[in-house]
Amino acid sequence: MNINLTMIGQVISFAIFVWFCAKYIWPPIINAMATRETKIADGLAAADRAVRDLELAQDKATDQLRQAKQEAAGIIEQARKQAGVVIEEAKQKAREEGERLLVAAEAEIEREFNRAREELRSKVAQLAIAGAEQILQRSVGEAANSELVDSLAAQL
């Protein structure tokens, strides 16, 4: 238990180890720890922010959904109305078309009827002439004439 050079040796090695620690050990470890601390703090802050963002996004989504529903309902309503109008218009048109066709058909019938009558009339004249010719040629009795006339009349 003598004080000797060992003490000086210890002082020197102490100085070296402290210097080494201050230069190569302490700074990197403290830096790594500080960096991790800020990273964790940032991460927590980001998580908080994300939760807020999520809430905002959900609110927005709900709003948009409601708006879309309203719009859809409006569109359906409008479409229904329009469909009614279209159907109404189509009915109207069909009715008009039917009437027009009816009128046209009536006119056609009328025309046909007139034409047939004209034809008939001209044919009656011919028949009358033919009948008259036959009467004149045959000079038959009253009965024969009336028979002839009857048959002519039946032809009408």
Partner 1 sequence: MATESGADSSGEYIAHHLTNLTFGKLPDGTYALAHSSAEAAQMGFWAVNLDTLGFSVVLGAVFSVLFWLAARSATSGVPGRLQNLVETAVEFVDGNVKSMFTHQNRMIGPLALTIFVWVLLMNVMDLVPVDFLPALADMAGVHHLKVVPSTDVNITMGLALSVFALVLFYSVKQKGLGGFAAELSLHPFGKYGLPINLVLELVTLIAKPISLGLRLFGNLYAGEMIFILIALLPWWAQWVLSVPWAIFHILIIFLQAFIFMVLTVVYMSAAHAVEEH
For partner 1, the binding residues (CB under 8 A) are 1-11, 13-18, 20-22, 24-33, 35-36, 39
For 64-86, letters b (16+ CB in 10 Å) and e give: eeeeeeeeeeeeeeeeeeeeeee
12 versus 50: smaller Cβ distance to partner 1: 12
33 versus 154: smaller Cβ distance to partner 1: 33
Minimal distance in Å, beta carbon 48 to partner 1?
21
Minimal distance in Å, beta carbon 51 to partner 1?
24
20 versus 113: smaller Cβ distance to partner 1: 20
For 43-53, letters b (16+ CB in 10 Å) and e give: eeeeeeeeeee
Structure tokens at 65: 């959904």
17 versus 113: smaller Cβ distance to partner 1: 17
Minimal distance in Å, beta carbon 23 to partner 1?
8
Minimal distance in Å, beta carbon 41 to partner 1?
12
Residue whose structure tokens are 């004439």: 145
Tell me the CA distances in angstroms from 63 to 13, 33, 67, 74, 140, one per residue in order. 73, 45, 6, 17, 109
